[in-house]
Amino acid sequence: MKRMSSYVALSALVAISAACGRGDSGELVGVPDRPTWSQEEPYGTVFIPQGSFTMGQSDQDVFFNANQQAKTVSVKAFYMDDAEISNNEYRQFVFWVRDSLAHTILGNTIEDDFGKEYLNWKLPINWGDPGTLEELAELYFPENEQIFGRFEVDVRKLNFAYKYFDLRMAADNRDPNRPRAEFIKSVVINVYPDTLVWARDFAFSYNEPQAQNYFSHPAYDDYPAVGVSWAQANAFAAWRTHLFHSFRIGNGEPKQGDFRLPTEFEWEYAARGGHQTSPYPWGGPYIKNDKGCLIANFKPGRGNYTDDGGFYTVKTYSYNPNDYGLYNMAGNVSEWTSTAFDESVFSVVHDLNPDYKYEAKEEDDIVMKRKVIRGGSWKDVGYLTQVGARTFEYQDSTKSYVGFRCVMDFLGRDLRDF
C-alpha cells in the first residue's frame, strides 16, 4: 500500500512538471517564445505622433454655422496615407474584385489541409485569350449593351463581400451568452466608382469628357479617386486590411492594425501638422506664398478655377506637404471621415480619442446618414480649406469633389528588438 502511494505521488509530480514546460521555476513568467515584432510603416503612409490640440475654428465663422466649438482633446498615434487614394490605387481594388470573380467562374481553386477551398491567385488569367473570353462571358456586358461590339466588363457585377465584428454593439451587450454571430455584420457592395458624377454634379456645365475618362484613362492614374461613396471607402479599407494581413501571415509575421477611415478629430489633428492655432495645414494666415502663388487647389477669387494651377482636381502629390508630410489636406478633394455629422457633437464627445459614430440603416431618416467630410475641394471657396471647417455629405452619395485617405492605428514598438 505504501509503495502504491509513492507511485501516485511520483505520477502527480511528473504531470505537474510536464504541464509547466520550460517555465518550471514555479514563478509567473508568462507564455514563453512569444514573437518579437516592430510595427512597420505601411507603404505610402506617414507616422502621426500622439498629442493634444484644440480642435475647432481657427478663424472667423464665415457661415455662422456654430458647429465648430473649440475643445482640447488628445489623440492616439496613428499612420495616415500621405496623399489621397488615387485612381490607380483604387483600380487595384476594382481589379482584385474583377479577378476574384473570374477565378471563381474558371474554377481556379486550391484545397488546404482541412479540405477548405480557396481561390488560386497564382494561376494567371489571360484576358486576351478568346477561349478565356468565352468562359468569362457572364462577366461582360450582354450584346445588346455593347458599343461597337467591344467586350467590356459589366461593372454592375463587381460586388465585394466582407464581414466585420461590431465591437461597439458587443460592448453594449450585457448578456455574455449571446452568440458571437449576432455581432458579425456582413456587407456586399458594388465597388466601381460612380463616373457619372462629373455629368451630374453641375447643371448646365460640360463635363462629359471627365465622366468618360477620369477613372479609366491612364492620364488620370495619379489623380484622386472620386465618385466613391462612404460605404465604398470603408469597403476599400477592409479589402486593403485583408491584402496587408494576408501577406504578413503568409510570411509568418503577426498582424498589425487595420486600415480604416480617420475620425474627423484625427483628420483635423493631422491636418494641422503640429500647428496649434493656424487656420491652414501649412500654417497661415494666408493662402498664398510669399511670391503670391496659391498653395492649394480650390476656387479662388470669384471663380478663377485655373489661378491655382488646376482646373478640376490635380495629382495627389501636388503642392507642398504640411509638417507631418501630408499632401493636399486643404483643397483638391474633400475627404470622407468615419464620423457621423451632428452640429453639436463637439460639446458631447470625450476628450480622449473623441469619436461619434452612427451606422445608418437604409430606412433611417436622411439626416441620420450625414457623414463628416473635411478639407474642402477644388470647387470650394477658400474658407472650407481651413483645418477647422467642417461640413457633410450623405453616406450613400457620390460626388466629383469627395475622395478619401486611410489611417492605421499605431500599436507600439517591441522593446525587445532594441
Residues 175, 60 share a domain = no
Whether omega for the bond prior to residue 285 falls within 30 degrees of 0, making it cis, is yes
Q: Looking at 110, 142, 157, which one is the last position of a domain?
A: 157
Give CA–CA dist 309/3, Å, rounded: 95
Pair 412, 349 in one domain: yes
Grade residue 415 by pLDDT with cuts at 50, 70 and 90: low
Q: What is the mean pLDDT of residues 229-250?
A: 95
Q: How many angstroms separate the CA atoms of 201 and 397, rounded? A: 11
The number of distinct structural domains making up the chain is: 3
Last residue of a domain, one of 157, 181, 203: 157
Q: Is the pLDDT of residue 410 over 50?
A: yes
pLDDT at residue 374 in the model: 96
Domain annotation covers residue 39: no
Whether residues 53 and 134 share a domain: the answer is: no
- Among the residue ranges 2-16, 89-103, 380-394, the one predicted with the least confidence is 2-16
Position with higher pLDDT, 322 vs 64 = 322
- Measuring CA to CA, how many Å separate 91 from each of 98, 129, 216? 10, 22, 9
Taking the model in full, what pTM does it have?
Answer: 0.90
pLDDT digits (tens, 9 = 90+) for 291-317: 888 999 999 988 899 999 999 999 999
Same domain? 279 vs 391 = yes
Q: 333 and 238, same structural domain?
A: yes
With respect to residue 32, please indicate whether it lies within any of the assigned structural domains.
Answer: no
| pLDDT of 23 higher than 80 | no
Q: Is residue 304 part of a domain?
A: yes
Q: Does residue 78 contact residue 356 with C-beta atoms inside 8 Å?
A: no
Q: How many CB atoms lie within 10 A of CB 324?
A: 19
Distance, in Å, from the CA atom of 332 to the CA atom of 318, rounded to the nearest integer, reads: 9
Q: 385 vs 412, which has greater pLDDT? A: 385
Q: Is 58 helix (H, G, I), strand (E, B) or coil?
A: coil
Query: Which is nearest to 158 in space by CA: 249, 114, 94?
Result: 94
Domain that holds residue 102: 98-157
Question: What is the reported pLDDT for 61?
Answer: 62
Is the same domain home to 181 and 205?
Answer: no
Residue 81 CA from chain centroid, whole number: 9
Q: What Å distances lie between residue 223 and 80, 87, 88, CA to CA?
A: 18, 6, 8
- Is there a domain that residue 2 lies in? no
Q: What is the pLDDT of residue 250?
A: 85
233 and 128, same structural domain?
Answer: no
Q: Is residue 92 part of a domain?
A: no
Q: Which of 5-14, 304-313, 393-402 has the highest mean pLDDT?
A: 393-402
Confidence of residue 95 (pLDDT cuts 50, 70, 90): very high
59 lies in the same domain as 166: no
Closest by CA to 273, choosing from 284, 264, 262, 283, is 283
Closest-CA residue to 214 (of 232, 193, 235, 229): 193
In a domain, 337, yes or no: yes
Whether 15 is in a domain gets the answer no
**403 and 326 part of one domain:** yes
What's the N-to-C CA distance of the chain in angstroms? 58
Note the pLDDT tens digit of each residue in 49-65: 999 999 877 666 665 56
Residue 107 located in a structural domain: yes
Asked which of 138, 167, 190 is the last residue of a domain, the reply is 190
- Do 118 and 172 have their domain in common? no
Residues 75 and 176 in one domain: no
Across 11-25, 26-40, 44-58, 97-111, least confident range: 11-25
Q: What does each C-alpha distance from 290 to 59, 301, 343, 352 come to in angstroms?
A: 21, 18, 36, 38
Helix (H/G/I), strand (E/B), else coil: 246: helix
Do 234 and 353 share a domain, yes or no?
yes
What CATH number has the domain bearing residue 262? 3.90.1580.10
